[in-house]
Amino acid sequence: MGLNDRKKKILAAIVEQYIATGEPIGSKALCKTLDMSVSSATVRNDMSELSELGYLDQPHTSAGRVPTQMGYRYYLDHLMPKNELDDDVRRHIDVSVDHRIGDPEQLLERAGEILVDFTNCASLSTTLADENAVIRKVEIVQISPKTAMIVLLSSTGIIKSKVCRTDVEITPDLIETFYSVVNQNFLNKPLADIGTVMIQTVVASLGKKALAMSPLLVSLYDLSISASQSEIILGGQANLLNYREFEQNAGALLEFLHKAEPLNQIISSVKNDFDVLIGHENRYKELENSSMIISRYMIGDRDGGSIGIIGPIRMNYSKLIPSIKYLTDIVGRLLSEVYEEDMPNGK
């Protein structure tokens, strides 16, 4: 059953008032806000029909109505005004983004901080996963006689580092051998090709230096695996404790957010450039009182990763969505610049 114009206006007004106040809306209060000449009884009947259709709920028999998850979904898909981004928010985002950041993970972390700041929700972002990425550069930095840091830079601009401890002293000769092995076997090789068999083959070819080189090359293998995988960056989880909607399941929700695999499944299931998942649409019980807004950024002309927020279902979608889209565009543009600098031919 479709909704007539009056019922659409009533549903939109209830959703928007409930977002603003968090209180059930009655027919008399609603009449005062509607730009229609209609009686309280008529509005009350329409609200009753909207409840029967599943768009509204009545928490208590004497209370007003609140939107259901179905009501929010209809509002988002059909009724929500297409607001322009507020100029103050635009300027705040422009000033907050540090255009000098060249590390993609640092840029995504900063984007998450900005999201946390202006949404008062938890933020999430995913780093770029590229099965065709190659090793662009490897550095070794000696920290102590038997300890060094291995740093890897991929063609997608991802930087990974790891502290490695060896059983023997790291001499200038060993460092020279390490760079020689890296140049011959690892530079410009796809991250996906760096496997245990390859590492074992390289180590076996080093003769007397195999024992000393093995920890360094194993560390390089670990970094290659890490750089090839998409990672989730979370922030602002403590904000969720401020919403009464999460009073009953705050602990379970925060614990859930530390599990990368289900979050990856949710994000990868989003096929559109931008999507909002409301309550049960998230598939996991821990998120049944939450909404996720997920926006996909582009690297040049191809998919990159996603940024977004997790918050209560009662959030100001019409205000937040333009802000998140704008920030996503900035992130995609800056990451594309980083990518093009590292791969000038786009290969």
Higher per-residue pLDDT: 192 or 99: 192
- Between 144-148, 258-262, 263-267, 337-341, the lowest mean confidence (pLDDT) is in 337-341
Q: Give percent above pLDDT 90 in the chain.
A: 65
Residue of 303, 318, 249, 236 lying closest to 279 (CA atoms)? 249
Long-range contacts of 290-294 (CB under 8 A, 24+ apart): 290/246, 290/253, 291/72, 291/315, 292/266, 293/317, 293/320, 293/321, 293/324, 294/266, 294/267, 294/270
Per-residue pLDDT band for 127 (boundaries 50, 70, 90) equals confident
- Model pLDDT for residues 74-93, shown as the tens digit of each residue: 999 999 998 889 899 899 89
150 and 224 together in one domain: yes
Q: Compute the mean pLDDT over every residue in the chain, rounded to the nearest whole number.
A: 89
Specify the amino acid at residue 299: I
Q: How many domains does the chain have?
A: 3
Residue 347 belongs to some domain of the structure = no
Looking at residue 301, its pLDDT comes to: 80
CATH (domain of 75): 1.10.10.10
CATH (domain of 223): 3.30.390.10
Average pLDDT value for residue range 13-37: 89
Residue 84 belongs to some domain of the structure = no
pLDDT reading at 61 higher than 90: no
Question: Last residue of some domain: 201, 228, 255?
Answer: 228
301 and 242 together in one domain: yes
- Model pLDDT for residues 287-331, shown as the tens digit of each residue: 999 999 999 998 888 778 899 999 999 999 999 999 999 999 999
236 and 331 together in one domain: yes
CA 282 to CA 291: how far, in whole Å? 8
Looking at residue 341, its pLDDT comes to: 56
CA 44 to CA 321: how far, in whole Å? 31
248 CB burial (10 A radius; 0-12, 13-18, 19+): exposed
Average pLDDT value for residue range 16-32: 91
Average pLDDT value for residue range 171-200: 93
Average pLDDT value for residue range 154-159: 81
Strand arrangement, sheet containing 290-299: 232-235, 122-126, 302-312, 290-299, 274-278
214 and 235 together in one domain: no
Question: Last residue of some domain: 180, 197, 228?
Answer: 228
Looking at residue 339, its pLDDT comes to: 67
Per-residue pLDDT band for 259 (boundaries 50, 70, 90) equals confident
The domain in which residue 156 lies consists of 135-228
Looking at residue 51, its pLDDT comes to: 95
